[in-house]
Amino acid sequence: MNTVSAEKAAALCIGNNIISGFFSKPVKKDLPIQKIKLRKIVLKNQEQYQLEIFEGTKAFHKNILPQNLQKELESFFWDFKIAEFSSSKNWLIFLQNNKGLIHFKTKAVKKENHPNKADVSSTEIFEHNKQKEYILSTSEMPIFLKKLNFFTDEGKIIQSKYHKFRQINKYLEFIKSVLPELKDLLKEKKELQIADFGCGKAYLSFALYYYLTEIESLPVKICGLDLKEDVIDFCNNLSKECGFKNLVFKAGDIGRFNFDKDPDMVISLHACDTATDLVIAKAIKSNTKIIFAVPCCQHELNTQIRKNKDKVIKSFSPMLDYGIITEKFASLLTDTIRGKLLESEGYRVSVEEFIETEHTPKNILIKAVKLDDNSKTKTVLIEKAKEEFKEIKQAFLIEPCLEKLLNGN
């Protein structure tokens, strides 16, 4: 092992064109920073170095231009006992002893042992460019995504979480489309009340809170609700860790939930079977302005249609000869009915593709925005939807859950 100065150590890092690494074990115990991770990224077509600085339970990001990196590294070499970096060819290892001497050794990187396991520079750059169109970008890497295990220590998305990452980004894009309505609501109140029903581990609640507060600077209070108490405890702890003071979670059943204040927006993602109907009914009854629901599996109407197979209008009965077609049809019928019942309650409804079918079969998003009472088309829309709903019901001899919930049964 050679001994090097802090200046020389920093110069070695620059000379070797490092891509990722870290500093750990502070020399002084009272240093507030425990660890610093570094990785090379490309932001707006400009190579930069991103530092993730860990202080207590929080982590901050700082991006540095290449020409400023050496100076930054130099000061960290004074402050930390251990530093390790990788370039495409080498590992660089620096260990500072109690006398302040920095020992340095280097090892060749074997491709299969490389932290990024491939041609690192091109992979890193590709990842950043590929994801930059998302609302939640990996270059920011919000801390809640790290804590929800979306990223490796090197800042790359964990493969198994990639679909979820896309889904929540897609969901945020839909929410972006109602920003004008949300801003309008804020003309009359100090903060927006939002509920995420059937939130589960609450990837979406966290993402939405981050998006609305940090990116759009809107004052919001978000409440996530789920049946599972252990999951709710986990979410409340994570929210505290992230310092998200207006993001709270409650354990309970959607059907029995009482709001402290009526919500402005209710969202749900993959609330199973008729839980989506509970969401829509609760939102309508609480006079919610905006509703987003991405339904999940659907069984209710499938059973009812099969039972009445011989009685439904003749031209439809051949479709019911094939189980898979009946299942898909029942699912589409359910969402059509949800749309029509929302329109009957004065909502402007659109049903959109949530995410491409190859990523999930649960790819329908129902978006409903309540029309103002002075809207000229409202009464016509309501009457038309009521009539259409009546006809569908008669044709398929069905008793949909949402109708019963809205009628208070």
Sites of contact with ligand SAM (CB under 6 A): 198-201, 203-204, 225-228, 253-255, 269-272, 275, 278, 296
CB of 247 to ligand SAM, least distance (A): 15
CB of 110 to ligand SAM, least distance (A): 38
Q: Which is nearer to ligand SAM, 50 or 167 (CB)?
A: 167
Q: What is the dihedral of CA 246, 252, 253, 258, to 10 degrees?
A: -60
Pairing mode of beta strands 290-295, 364-370:
antiparallel
On whether the CB atoms of residues 275 and 297 are closer than 8 A, the answer is no
Q: Which is nearer to ligand SAM, 274 or 344 (CB)?
A: 274
CB of 296 to ligand SAM, least distance (A): 6
CB of 226 to ligand SAM, least distance (A): 5
Q: Which is nearer to ligand SAM, 202 or 290 (CB)?
A: 202
CB of 135 to ligand SAM, least distance (A): 17
CB of 362 to ligand SAM, least distance (A): 9
Closest Cα to residue 198, out of 136, 249, 259, 146?
249
Q: Which is nearer to ligand SAM, 13 or 242 (CB)?
A: 242
Q: Which is nearer to ligand SAM, 51 or 242 (CB)?
A: 242
Query: What is the C-alpha to C-alpha distance for residues 364 and 356, in angstroms, rounded to an integer?
Result: 10
Structure tokens at 247: 């993001």
CB of 58 to ligand SAM, least distance (A): 25
Q: Which is nearer to ligand SAM, 116 or 268 (CB)?
A: 268
Amino acid identity for residue 317 in this structure: S
CB of 194 to ligand SAM, least distance (A): 14
Query: What is the C-alpha to C-alpha distance for residues 406 and 384, in angstroms, rounded to an integer?
Result: 18
SS3 (DSSP) at 280 = helix
Q: Identify the bridge partners of residue 86 per DSSP, sorted by sequence position.
A: 20, 91
Sheet containing strand 90-96, edge to edge, reads 2-4, 102-108, 90-96, 80-86, 20-26, 33-43, 46-55, 58-64
The residues, ordered by sequence, that sit 6+ positions from 16 with a Cβ below 8 Å of its Cβ are 85, 87, 89, 90, 92, 106
Q: Which is nearer to ligand SAM, 216 or 273 (CB)?
A: 273
Q: Which is nearer to ligand SAM, 293 or 320 (CB)?
A: 293
Query: What is the C-alpha to C-alpha distance for residues 203 and 210, in angstroms, rounded to an integer?
Result: 11
* Nearest residue to the partner ligand SAM, using Cβ: 200
Query: What is the C-alpha to C-alpha distance for residues 62 and 53, in angstroms, rounded to an integer?
Result: 8
